[in-house]
Amino acid sequence: MKRTLPLWMSKSGKNQICSALPNLTLPNTCKLIYSHDANDCSILCDELQSSLAPSSVIGFDVEWPVSYIKGKRDITATIQICPNKKQCFVFQVSKMGMIPSPLKKLIESSEIKKTGVNVIGDMWKLHHDFNIFPDQSLMSQSYIELSHFASRTINSSQGWSLRRLCQYFLKSDLSKENNIRLGDWAQFPLSEDQLYYAALDAYASLLVYESILNWKPAQFS
């Protein structure tokens, strides 16, 4: 039997109840690292990959500006990676003009899984924008789709956004302000609000993954 979401997440109840949930924030113990230089990015990614154990799972997300101009191709501007609760990286690849090979290697790695909501779409976006995964058959080995993982774990057929996953598994709300979400992610430098928003999505993805991994039915009854 498929599990349904609790009443407080229904259309009739979520606006009232979710407004009472605390906002998810980056803790002071989590360092936000902003990189917009290809050499700097390469060094950081080499160090990061060497520090990660095989079978590690890291929070992952991307952002790009949406121009709504017919025929214009909007290229990925930032790649966010959260390897643990102490670090979140925001790589502004639009400023680099490329994806440095150590970052490409990290994304393509089948040993280090990237997790997030619609990470499938993010990987295809990176494939089209930067030829990440020239061998497309290897793509599915590099990520864990968070929405699918959640549905399998709690036997639910519900659709999931990252915000709804945070509400359900973390009992926290994830702010999604349109003026930031739909802003110019290719501008340089990124604003503090943009950096925080970008890092928080990757951080939330990691937290939700870990919560699902340790899920016990009694926790969410």
Q: Indicate which CATH number applies to the domain containing 93.
A: 3.30.420.10
Q: Decide if 67 is inside a domain.
A: yes
> Which tens digits make up the pLDDT trace of 67-122?
767 767 789 999 999 999 999 999 999 999 999 999 999 999 999 999 999 999 99
Q: Decide if 192 is inside a domain.
A: yes
Q: How confident is the model at residue 200 (pLDDT cuts 50, 70, 90)?
A: very high
Show the tokens assigned to 130.
């930067």
pLDDT at 2: 52
> Which tens digits make up the pLDDT trace of 22-41?
999 999 999 999 999 999 99
- Report pTM: 0.89
Q: Decide if 10 is inside a domain.
A: no
How far apart are the C-alpha atoms of 79 and 12, rounded to whole Å? Answer: 35
Farthest CA pair distance, the chain:
52
- The CA-CA-CA angle for residues 113, 53, 87, to 5°, reads 75
How far apart are the C-alpha atoms of 107 and 60, rounded to whole Å? Answer: 9
Q: Decide if 56 is inside a domain.
A: yes
- Residue range of the domain that includes 33: 21-220
> Which tens digits make up the pLDDT trace of 47-68?
999 999 999 999 999 999 987 6
Which single residue is written with the structure tokens 């680099």?
96
138 to 110, 132, 135: CA distances (angstroms): 8, 11, 6
How far apart are the C-alpha atoms of 153 and 169, rounded to whole Å? Answer: 12
Q: Decide if 135 is inside a domain.
A: yes
Split into its structural domains, the chain has a count of 1
What residues form DSSP beta bridges with 87?
A: 31, 84
Q: Decide if 117 is inside a domain.
A: yes
Q: Decide if 91 is inside a domain.
A: yes
- Our CA dihedral for 154, 198, 131, 134, rounded to 10 degrees, sits at -30
Q: Please, where are the H alpha helices in 34-145?
A: 38-51, 93-96, 101-108, 119-130
Q: Decide if 5 is inside a domain.
A: no
